[in-house]
A and B are shown apart, each in its own frame.
Chain A
Amino acid sequence: MKEIQLNVNGKDYSLNIDENMRLIDLLRDKLGLLGTKEGCGEGECGACTVIMDGETVTSCLVMAFQAHGSEILTIEGLESNGKIHPIQQAFIDVGAVQCGFCTPGMIMSAKALLDKNPNPTREEIREGISGNLCRCTGYNKIVDGVELAINYIEEGK
């Protein structure tokens, strides 16, 4: 067992974990944050994407102890004052959601992109979500969703 401290969605935690525990297991099994999904377990599909100290990581490839001292943002941390994030609202409004299993990871990648580049081109959006697979093949609507989110954020919606 190993004790680690980390901040998840603005909240500090001190946890005893097994050394072989992955970050995704810590989030799901220890903290009950079930919005982070496991699609492949080898960093290929992006469904488990979370933001760690400002950068996207596939949480199935990060060991839990590696998150010691870091700040993690998951899909559950995007709401503020009871209001969902503009990216989430835009995904709803354009119909960027199908089966939904890629959606949390896709939104986290979009969030990391817009945090760094508030006004990306369509090409840059495609690159920004290129680590996230959607098997329902809804990529166009997802790119539309991120584009709409840019407007929502500008309008302060």
Chain B
Amino acid sequence: MKFDIVGKNIIRTDAYSKVTGKALYPQDIYMDNMVYGKTLRSKLPHAYIDIDTSEAEKIEGVIKIFTYKDVPNNSHGVVFKDHEVFCEKKVRRIGDPIAFVVGETEEVCKLALDKIKVDYKELEGVFDPEIAMDENSPKVHGDSNIVYHFKIRKGDIEEGFKNSYVIAENTYKTHMVEHAFLQPEAGVSLIDEEGRVTVMVATQYPHYDREEVASALNIKEEEVRIVNTNIGGAFGGREDISLQIHLALAAYTLKRPVKVVYSREESFIAHAKRHPMIMKCKTGADKDGKLLAMEAEIIGDTGAYASWAPNVLRKAGVHITGPYYIPNVVVDSYAVYTNNPFAGAMRGFGATQVPIAHEQQMDILAEKLGMDPISIRMINIFKQGSVTATGQVLTESVPVEACIKEVVKRMDLFGEEGHNEETW
């Protein structure tokens, strides 16, 4: 078969516009009669609020200040609708949107933000996900902070550990990570020539955005258009709604083009982060290094909102056993609300955190057994036909064994003597 594209070097279609500076990102869009918007955000992580916009509305050039009262359906969220477009009674994290000022210039909007009075009645917050799991801890939403619990039960875990010659038991922690895509969030919204609310934005999910905008404004999806501009990096950080609904609501109400550009600081505060995880792992192997059992508990801090937490913590749970065959497995993976910045998608989607745990477990087991770290991996590694802890049979290409062999060769790990590969 002859291919036109596959196997050939193809110049990407947007390369010319990007090297010449002609590529338009949302901050590069200017329109006639355009006005600007700025978001008022919570300064406290957990508090009841009362908002008074009357002083701010008097400032010359302020057109309208939007709050929860102006949103027909004040909720959104990719998996659970736990975000409010604007907080009504309670803020759950620093940075929660409370109001959106639209004014003739950005400067006017900034002045107005300072004049909006927010009366905070601070509540006790919860910032440690392990404490948040306790039923007596403060609740971020509803009756429980546990958003999601994923389980794996395979084989007989007690038997597995009983037969183990060595056991490694450790707790690993990873931290929150910011995507820091280079182009801060920005967007322009307007009513197009066919009367549709149009939001021009750099997004990873135009179809989701359309659903969320239509739902919040309580209009038909056909009445909403999302135009994806060039996207200045995303890495998962543009998978949630940021400014889309604020913009659409303002343009829909005011019938004028509205533009928002976040500063870097606001971008940091506004969007999701990588889930910090606490991973408690107990792994057992026999005298030869063959893995017999693994028990793992993963606690993911999803902060104030679920975002993609169920999917991320599911993926973490599926991958915590690493690329190794283990006959007896127990995994409990939790996503937990706290009053921290919310966590969501970021490159790897939960699969990035867990190797920190499972690979250190392998090294520790190898050390206990007096084995080299390559050999213990090679005798447990997934091959074509292997069955994972969730019962998936790997029928397609599984090149990890070949990859490790190549690494050994290129790093010259065993020197002149080489390694007796038959032991693998």
Contact = CB atoms under 8 A, between A and B. Distances in A.
Interface of A: 28, 32-42, 45, 47, 74-76, 78-79, 84, 88-89, 91-93, 95, 97-104, 107, 133-136
B4 to A, nearest CB: 18
Contact of A101 (B17, B20, B233): B233
Contacts of A102: 182
Contacts of A93: 11
Given A42-B264, A93-B11, A136-B233, A99 B182 contact: yes
Nearest to B234: A99
Given A35-B21, A75-B20, A99-B233, A91 B180 contact: no
A100 B23 contact: yes
A88 B235 CA distance: 25
A40 B264 contact: yes
Which secondary structure dominates where chain A touches chain B?
loop
Closest A-B pairs by Cβ, 6 of them:
A35-B21, A100-B18, A101-B232, A75-B21, A88-B19, A34-B28
Contacts of A95: 9, 12, 15
Contacts, number: 93
16 contacts: A40-B264, A75-B21, A76-B21, A84-B16, A84-B19, A84-B20, A88-B20, A92-B16, A95-B12, A99-B182, A99-B183, A99-B232, A100-B17, A104-B21, A135-B181, A135-B233
Contacts of B180: 135
B184 interface: yes
**In this complex, which of A33, A98, A100 has the most chain B Cβ atoms within 10 angstroms of its Cβ?**
A100
A44 to B, nearest CB: 8
Nearest to B261: A38
Contacts of A74: 21
B75 interface: no
Contacts of B21: 33-36, 74-76, 103-104
